[in-house]
Amino acid sequence: MTLSLGCIADDYTGASDLANTLTRQGLRTVQTIGVPADALILPEVDAVVVSLKSRSIAAASAVEKSRAAAAWLRGRGAAHLLFKICSTFDSTDQGNIGPVLEALRADAGDAIVLVTPAFPETGRSVYQGHLFVGAVLLHESPLKDHPLNPMRDSNLVRVLGRQSHCKIGLLALATVAAGGDAVRARLAVLAAEGCGAAIADAVFERDLETLGAVALHHGVSVGASGLGLGLARALRASGRGTPRPAAPDAEPAIGGAAACLAGSCSQATLLQIARAEAAMPVLRLDPDRLIAGAGGIKRAIAFAAERIGEGPLLIASSTTPDLVAALQARHGRDAAGHAIEQALAEIAAALVGLGVRRLVIAGGETSGAVVDRLGLAGFMVGAEIAAGVPVLRSVGPAPGMLLALKSGNFGGPDFFSDALRLMR
Ligand code: ADP
């Protein structure tokens, strides 16, 4: 396999989002869970997205995992690597964007790395180095209260500077709009001034096309799915990629029972669960019982065993912010979150034991815990359920499965029914 593009994503749902973007742009793409084992036989693809869970772990560990992924991708011929981060630049002063960027840059021998989280399709734009989420600056958006990495500074030159050893420069919109030659000239000046990375402004997809075409001539770039789009279009323009990617709908049906699991407590997910109640049996888990021991898990498995023969069902731990806060006060934030994720992962394993082969999961961390527990090695991207959420078809030795991994705020009100309709 000779890859046109290698990607390293710092979480699983972000990896699906990127794999979805690349597929839509005409690159056959596989998403792997961690660095693939040598024995894993992957289909012929143009791009691989290695999914890591490295966004909120210790920086040294994120660097080690990312370097291992980079070495694997380069070993498969990827001349360019995209380090995929969140489009809201989720990170802290300790990392992990800066430390991983510096390690990958050193390994690639690049003088300077182009960085932009812009993704116009989802309202993320960067101007004068400041990140906007829709019409508001990052530090005025709900991300200012993120439980793990509150984003209180919208100036990404400063944000990245605090987590890096190198100087960070700015590639302003006027330069990007002037085209590839102007961008290359400015990057050369910034590199000569000692900058190891540059935050690039981007507001429209054409800005990302310019940036993607320039980045392809470097060893590494850093960005969200928007830069993925720019890189994919540049690759297609240079004749790489697959002229006509296989239509996802042409894949054989998987069949088997279907179920949904929700651990996300986002507003969107709470509404989606309420809407699902009209379409399928829904079990709302008692989080205290889940944390206390196996009783809550056994009850959920019994609920599923009784009903799974009759059609899809939904099992949810999700609840409102006040109840989440109360539970966290009783058990501690990390302990509560981790215990519920592991309980949902155990329920998922039992569902597979009951014959479930089509599984919809709401929640980024929840998806990570479930996919790890099921031992799935990777996925091919299929039809798009909602922006950034594709149907995923498992690859590797485990029984064939279809999954949908949805991060909190993604999807329309009828997301669960929408997903099941496309998962055949
Ligand atoms: P999102 O994509 O919306 O951020 P995640 O799955 O990443 O969703 O995060 C949700 C977190 O909330 C997980 O750690 C999950 O275990 C935890 N959680 C789920 N249900 C509850 C609950 N009832 N009370 C407190 N925390 C919960």
On whether both 72 and 101 belong to a single domain, the answer is yes
Residue-wise pLDDT tens digits, 267-312: 899 999 999 999 999 999 999 998 887 789 999 999 999 999 999 9
Rounded CA-CA distance 51/44 in Å is 18
**Ligand 1 binding pocket includes 337 (Cβ within 6 Å):** yes
Rounded CA-CA distance 258/247 in Å is 23
Residue 165 lies in a domain: yes
Atom from ligand 1 closest to the CA of residue 366: 6
**Ligand 1 binding pocket includes 149 (Cβ within 6 Å):** no
Least confident of 16-30, 242-256, 278-292, 346-360: 242-256
What local confidence, expressed as pLDDT, does residue 249 receive? Answer: 56
C-alpha distances in Å from residue 80, one per residue of 213, 214, 216: 11, 11, 6
Question: How many Å is the Cα radius of gyration of the chain?
Answer: 21
What local confidence, expressed as pLDDT, does residue 387 receive? Answer: 86
* 8 Å CB contact between 151 and 139: yes
190 CA to middle of ligand 1, Å? 42
More confident residue, 248 or 237: 237
Residue-wise pLDDT tens digits, 193-231: 999 999 999 999 999 999 999 999 999 999 999 999 999
Rounded CA-CA distance 272/291 in Å is 24
Instruction: Read off the tokens for 76.
Output: 């498969």
Average confidence (pLDDT) over 77-85: 97
What local confidence, expressed as pLDDT, does residue 147 receive? Answer: 61
What local confidence, expressed as pLDDT, does residue 200 receive? Answer: 98
Residue nearest to atom 25 of ligand 1 (CA): 324
Domain boundary among 218, 238, 258: 238
Residue 243 lies in a domain: no
* 8 Å CB contact between 235 and 23: no
What local confidence, expressed as pLDDT, does residue 245 receive? Answer: 53
**Ligand 1 binding pocket includes 411 (Cβ within 6 Å):** no
324 CA to middle of ligand 1, Å? 8
Please give the mean pLDDT across all residues of the chain.
Answer: 93
Q: How many domains does the chain have?
A: 2
Domain boundary among 207, 238, 269: 238
Instruction: Read off the tokens for 172.
Output: 């302003």
178 CA to middle of ligand 1, Å? 44
Could you give the angle at which helices 205-215 and 180-192 cross, rounded to 10 degrees? 60
**Ligand 1 binding pocket includes 324 (Cβ within 6 Å):** yes
**Ligand 1 binding pocket includes 317 (Cβ within 6 Å):** yes
What local confidence, expressed as pLDDT, does residue 408 receive? Answer: 83
Domain boundary among 196, 216, 238: 238
On whether both 269 and 176 belong to a single domain, the answer is no
**Ligand 1 binding pocket includes 366 (Cβ within 6 Å):** yes
**Ligand 1 binding pocket includes 265 (Cβ within 6 Å):** yes
On whether both 222 and 326 belong to a single domain, the answer is no
Residue 245 lies in a domain: no
**Ligand 1 binding pocket includes 16 (Cβ within 6 Å):** no
More confident residue, 165 or 245: 165
Residue nearest to atom 16 of ligand 1 (CA): 337
On whether both 170 and 262 belong to a single domain, the answer is no
Could you give the angle at which helices 295-307 and 333-353 cross, rounded to 10 degrees? 30
pLDDT at 244 over 70: no
Could you give the angle at which helices 267-276 and 415-422 cross, rounded to 10 degrees? 70
**Ligand 1 binding pocket includes 340 (Cβ within 6 Å):** yes
Residue matched to tokens 């990007």 = 176
Atom from ligand 1 closest to the CA of residue 323: 24
**Ligand 1 binding pocket includes 319 (Cβ within 6 Å):** yes
Rounded CA-CA distance 272/286 in Å is 19
* Probe target for ligand 1 pocket from 17, 143, 148, 265, with the most ligand atoms within 8 Å of CB: 265
On whether both 22 and 149 belong to a single domain, the answer is yes
33 CA to middle of ligand 1, Å? 21
Residue 12 lies in a domain: yes
**Ligand 1 binding pocket includes 155 (Cβ within 6 Å):** no
Average confidence (pLDDT) over 317-337: 90
Alpha-helix runs per DSSP H in 178-294: 180-192, 205-215, 225-237, 267-276, 287-292
Residue-wise pLDDT tens digits, 147-195: 677 788 999 999 999 999 999 999 999 999 999 999 999 999 999 999 9
What local confidence, expressed as pLDDT, does residue 295 receive? Answer: 87
Rounded CA-CA distance 59/82 in Å is 18
Residue-wise pLDDT tens digits, 31-64: 999 999 887 888 889 999 999 999 988 999 999 9
Task: State the pLDDT confidence band at 398, using cuts at 50, 70 and 90.
Answer: low
More confident residue, 220 or 395: 220
Average confidence (pLDDT) over 60-81: 97
Task: State the pLDDT confidence band at 409, using cuts at 50, 70 and 90.
Answer: confident
Average confidence (pLDDT) over 256-266: 95
What local confidence, expressed as pLDDT, does residue 24 receive? Answer: 92
What local confidence, expressed as pLDDT, does residue 388 receive? Answer: 86
Whether the full predicted model's pTM is greater than 0.75, yes or no, is: yes
Average confidence (pLDDT) over 388-415: 89
CATH code where residue 61 lies: 3.40.50.10840
Task: State the pLDDT confidence band at 396, using cuts at 50, 70 and 90.
Answer: confident
Domain span at residue 256 reads 250-422
What local confidence, expressed as pLDDT, does residue 355 receive? Answer: 96
Could you give the angle at which helices 205-215 and 225-237 cross, rounded to 10 degrees? 70
On whether both 82 and 206 belong to a single domain, the answer is yes
